[in-house]
């Protein structure tokens, strides 16, 4: 009997997921544990592995389809094995046409049969439309033949239909005289519309993890009053302290004791001292936590993820170091699960390795604070009557000004600075 590939549940709040890309085609052999499809939730993009060896008999959901958690999105079985009628495509991912679709099957538009009539005897190029795009177009009275597809092989995606809807809305709100003036001036070819006089351009629809990040960042900026304050900490002594500490842990491969580890531990201590920063805001209620659940931003090729160290205030410096290292490795290998990236109360983001000093980190909702770590730089300063070379770490704190005022935010940053400048307090 065929084995189902089901839409996984990546977090407690996840009720449905979106198919991003099939890595295998119907008819391809697959091995148990091999990645066959990429799906995404509102927080993460993840590969789904084959539950058994066999042949990918059927793909039950196309890219851009939204499927309820637990529903089958594909089937694996023996070669030439038939699939019972009751194993039909789930309603939420079913195309409105009667055609069965797989990544190798072109979905032919049948809303206007005359469009595909051919009197020349030559093959007719079929219109490729994702089910989500077709459904949206039908509900918005949009003719899919008017839509320019930007997906693979010219496939029309939901984003393409949304662009047409937006354009028509603007047209309705623009006087006829202005519309005509705009038409007279607009480029006549697709390449001119992209970049005037240059067709050497790659158009990539935003999707998957990048789409999730885009939506969350825009929502964060639109729904909070974000303010960033900055400060530097003299970490000359901390760097010396770090070198000595690393010598003590040189036999433990999973303990690196990086500057980020020290900053993380110092941040935890500062949050315990200033608990208002260890809060979340849902638009109505402020939740202040006794435990510190620290998010550590990790950069990936596809975007950014924020795994969470739960109850970080109960951990020693070496334990914090181990957690950060393990989370970073898991994130880059795609091993993080949904629960690993929810529930943070404060986040740290670092651009130090990129040579950036100060920057403006964007809040990770519903948190009300995020710390940005810059690149350490050298500076000559007076120490008494002599000039010494000291090393400074840039700190950028973004906070929600609806909940926290400048004074308590600066007090938190001052406490963090004190811990970093007197490193023995971090480990006591």
Residue 298 · residue 348 · CB < 8 Å: no
The Cα 34–Cα 89 span in angstroms is 22
Strands 294-296 and 346-350: parallel
Q: What does the angle CA 90 – CA 96 – CA 101 come to, to the nearest 5 degrees?
A: 70
Task: Point out the catalytic residue in the list 47, 53, 330, 401.
Answer: 401
Number of C-beta neighbours around residue 214 at 10 A: 13
75-108 core/surface letters (b: 16 or more CB in 10 A; e: else): bbbeeeeeeeeeeebbeebbbeeeeebbbeeebb
**What CA–CA distances, in Å, run from 151 to 33, 101, 144, 156, 330?**
28, 16, 14, 6, 31
Establish whether 145 is a catalytic residue: no
Task: Point out the catalytic residue in the list 28, 199, 254, 405.
Answer: 405
**Which of 316, 336, 221 is closest to 268 using CA atoms?**
316
Establish whether 274 is a catalytic residue: no
The Cα 26–Cα 5 span in angstroms is 13
**Which of 300, 312, 264 is closest to 44 using CA atoms?**
300
Residues annotated catalytic, as ranges: 401, 405
């Amino acid at each position: 009997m065929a084995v189902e590939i089901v839409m996984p549940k990546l977090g407690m709040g996840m009720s449905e997921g979106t198919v991003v890309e099939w890595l295998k085609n119907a008819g391809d052999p697959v091995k148990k544990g091999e990645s066959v499809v990429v799906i995404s939730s509102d927080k993460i993009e993840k590969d789904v592995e084959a539950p058994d060896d066999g042949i990918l008999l059927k793909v039950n959901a196309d890219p851009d389809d939204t499927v309820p958690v637990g529903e089958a999105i594909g089937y694996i079985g023996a070669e030439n094995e038939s699939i019972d009628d009751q194993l039909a495509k789930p309603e939420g991912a079913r195309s409105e046409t009667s055609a069965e679709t797989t990544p190798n099957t072109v979905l032919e538009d049948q809303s206007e049969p005359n469009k595909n009539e051919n009197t020349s005897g030559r093959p007719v190029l079929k219109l490729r439309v994702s089910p989500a795009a077709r459904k949206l177009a039908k509900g918005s009275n949009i003719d899919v033949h008017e839509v320019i597809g930007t997906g693979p092989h010219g496939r029309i995606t939901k984003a393409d239909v949304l662009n047409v809807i937006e354009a028509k809305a603007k047209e309705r709100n623009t006087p006829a005289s202005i519309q005509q003036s705009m038409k007279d001036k607009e480029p006549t070819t697709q390449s001119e519309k992209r970049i005037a006089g240059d067709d050497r351009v790659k158009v990539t629809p935003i999707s998957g993890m990048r789409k999730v990040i885009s939506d969350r960042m825009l929502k964060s900026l639109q729904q909070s009053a974000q303010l960033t304050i900055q400060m530097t900490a003299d970490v000359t002594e901390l760097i010396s302290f770090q070198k000595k500490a690393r010598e003590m842990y040189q036999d433990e491969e999973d303990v690196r004791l990086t500057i980020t580890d020290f900053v993380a531990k110092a941040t935890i201590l500062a949050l315990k001292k200033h608990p208002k920063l260890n809060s979340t805001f849902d638009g109505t209620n402020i939740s202040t936590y006794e435990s510190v659940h620290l998010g550590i931003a990790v950069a990936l090729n596809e975007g950014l993820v924020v795994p969470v160290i739960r109850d970080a205030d109960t951990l020693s410096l070496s334990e914090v170091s181990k957690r950060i290292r393990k989370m970073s490795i898991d994130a880059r290998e795609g091993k993080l699960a949904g629960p690993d990236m929810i529930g943070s109360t404060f986040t740290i983001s670092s651009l130090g390795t990129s040579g950036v000093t100060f920057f403006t980190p964007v809040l990770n909702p519903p948190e009300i604070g995020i710390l940005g770590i810059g690149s350490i730089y050298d500076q000559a300063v007076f120490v008494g009557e002599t000039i010494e070379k000291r090393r400074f770490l840039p700190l950028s704190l973004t906070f929600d000004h609806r909940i926290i005022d400048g004074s308590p935010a600066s007090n938190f940053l001052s406490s963090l600075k004190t811990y970093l400048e007197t490193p023995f307090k971090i480990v006591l």
